[in-house]
Copies of this chain bind each other. A is one copy, B any other.
Amino acid sequence: MDSSQFRKAAHAAIEDIIKYRDTISERNVLPSISPGYLGPLLPDAAPEDGEEWSKIQSDIDRVIMPGLTHWQSPKFMAFYPCNASLPGILGDMYSGAFNAAAFNWICSPAVTELETIVMDWVGKLINLPDCYRSDGEGGGIIQGTASEVVVTAVVAARERILRRRLIDMPEGEEKIDKMAEMRGKLVAMGSEHAHSSTQKAAIIAGTRFRAVPAPQSAGFAVTKAALRKTIEECKARGLEPFYYTATLGSTATCAIDDLVGIAELAKEFPDIWIHVDAAYAGSALICPEYQHLTKPMEDFDSFNFNLHKWLLVNFDCSAFYIKRRKDLIDTYSIVPSYLRNNFSESGLVTDYRDWQIPLGRRFRSLKVWFVLRTYGVNGLRVLIRNHIKLGEYFHSLLLSRTDVFKVITGPAFALTTFVLNPKKVEGATEAQDLLAGNKLTQEVYEAVNRKGEFFLTSGVLDGVYAIRVVSATENAEEKYLKALFEGLIELAGEYRDGYRDKVVEQAI
């Protein structure tokens, strides 16, 4: 492919991208193909000779498009959003041109330095305390996903507590034996409603894991008392809690742990590394009305949120902030001879490879820089506040029909969870009502996704099967939430009452 062939192909790709984005609301979010659809559509080996771009391009419509789930659609209300944007795509185009495995400063100074600068911009934007800034002992780094961040923090926390406890022991086999023994006693903790990444990180780090209870009575959040109880239970068993993921916006309900209380606890237990996972809700911190939430971070060790969720930066881009970057470098820095260079040894530059698990790094700060500059702080605030308002709107729709729906949580950062009320049965026990409600809610939920126009997810909250709705794509609008609501009413008629016409009439 020469330059002029590329120009032609790229212009065609741009038209495909524009058309895709401009017409996305007309598609069903979920594809209707079955597992294994793609194999029969493609040859079973790479072609011997190169093919024309026009042939390759036509295959995108023919074989790829039917198998896509459209996360950029305003009818996508599942999980949390994963928003791309046009300046984000431009960022990746330049990143591809400047392609490098930029693992240390000299491998491409602009990659490192722009990342430091935009991470400081973002840290200020979300009102993260100054201690997380690169001009002190902290700093930000772009990672792929929140789950990578959590593994990185858990492993660094595991090694930090060992270093601290064995600071007086001379290096050697005896110390290595002692460290191995101590590792076996360590316990990572996370809310029972924290993302499963903390549990997975504990597996990867080879430590134990304890879920801290976060019942409905506490709003599905971890309280200071609950965390203290878990810590004390561990210690009573001779185990050593060393890490806790505090949640600012849990996956299931967008609940917020008692950060102020946990910050007090952090002072009592300074060897427990507290990481705050704000993967989705963290983007809302760009709005002053949420910024009081960041005050307790001063007493924690690290923080992350995903700009690729709610802040229009193409996947992947998780911002990971560390209060003392030394806590990462002490664990992750290894310098074989082929990576030595005078710049790194001068101590004047940042080598982000020593802050993370992988070696190589992409030029991801470009897309962040482009998005921040294209939208501006005010443009991004408008976006977030619009989604918050849409969440309140959907919540108000549910409240208008308490005969059909019961809200479980929210609206919290645009997420509402709810159930369908089962038919009243004379003399049914509470447990029977719960089972009936769970069955109905699951049936309606599965019917929505089977239809495929909208995509929702569900979760189990203290035994209650609930539907989650969060509408926060760039092109989200009230009308889509209204259409979803009407569809839910209709399905409630079908599945709950065994008839539909009357309910539909009421709804329209």
Interface status of A372 (Cβ within 8 A of chain B):
yes
Mark the stretch among A92-100, A220-228, A255-263, A403-411 that contacts chain B.
A92-100
A1 touches B308 (CB 8 A): no
B203 touches A159 (CB 8 A): yes
For A170-192 the 0/1 string (1 means CB < 8 A from B) is 00000011001101110000000
Q: Name A273-297 residues within 8 Å CB distance of B.
A: none
Question: How many whole Å from A128's CB to the nearest CB in chain B?
Answer: 13
Mark the stretch among A17-25, A428-436, A478-486 that contacts chain B.
A17-25
Q: Name A305-343 residues within 8 Å CB distance of B.
A: 308, 314-316, 331-332, 334-339, 342-343
Interface status of A48 (Cβ within 8 A of chain B):
yes
Report the bound CA distance from A22 to B46 in whole Å. 28
A17 touches B94 (CB 8 A): yes
Question: How many whole Å from A109's CB to the nearest CB in chain B?
Answer: 4
B315 touches A67 (CB 8 A): no
Identity of the chain B residue whose Cβ is nearest the Cβ of A134 in the assembled complex = B39
Determine the chain B residues whose CB is within 8 A of the CB of A468 once the complex forms.
338
Identity of the chain B residue whose Cβ is nearest the Cβ of A12 in the assembled complex = B90
A315 touches B101 (CB 8 A): yes
Interface status of A38 (Cβ within 8 A of chain B):
yes
Determine the chain B residues whose CB is within 8 A of the CB of A88 once the complex forms.
96, 99
For A95-128 the 0/1 string (1 means CB < 8 A from B) is 1111111100111111101100110111011000
Interface status of A50 (Cβ within 8 A of chain B):
yes
Known: A125-B46, A316-B362, A457-B338. A110 touches B67 (CB 8 A): yes
Report the bound CA distance from A83 to B379 in whole Å. 37
Interface status of A69 (Cβ within 8 A of chain B):
yes
Mark the stretch among A353-361, A394-402, A488-496, A498-506 that contacts chain B.
A353-361
Identity of the chain B residue whose Cβ is nearest the Cβ of A204 in the assembled complex = B155
Number of copies: 2
Question: How many whole Å from A29's CB to the nearest CB in chain B?
Answer: 11
A338 touches B79 (CB 8 A): yes
A121 touches B45 (CB 8 A): yes
Among B18, B38, B176, B206, which residue has its beta carbon within 8 angstroms of that of A114? B38
Interface status of A421 (Cβ within 8 A of chain B):
no
Determine the chain B residues whose CB is within 8 A of the CB of A180 once the complex forms.
183-185, 206, 208
Question: How many whole Å from A452's CB to the nearest CB in chain B?
Answer: 11
Mark the stretch among A144-152, A264-272, A385-393 that contacts chain B.
A144-152
Interface status of A51 (Cβ within 8 A of chain B):
yes
Question: How many whole Å from A59's CB to the nearest CB in chain B?
Answer: 8
Instruction: Supply 17 A–B pairs (Cβ within 8 Å), ascending by A.
Output: A17-B93, A38-B113, A38-B117, A45-B121, A50-B375, A56-B374, A69-B107, A69-B108, A71-B107, A84-B97, A84-B99, A92-B96, A101-B308, A147-B360, A180-B184, A183-B206, A315-B360
Top 10 closest pairs, chain A to chain B, by CB: A180-B184, A67-B110, A84-B99, A38-B113, A50-B376, A89-B96, A49-B376, A337-B460, A6-B86, A46-B372
- Contacts A17-B96, A71-B107, A88-B99 given; 7 further ones with Cβ under 8 A? A6-B17, A6-B86, A10-B90, A14-B93, A64-B110, A71-B100, A180-B208
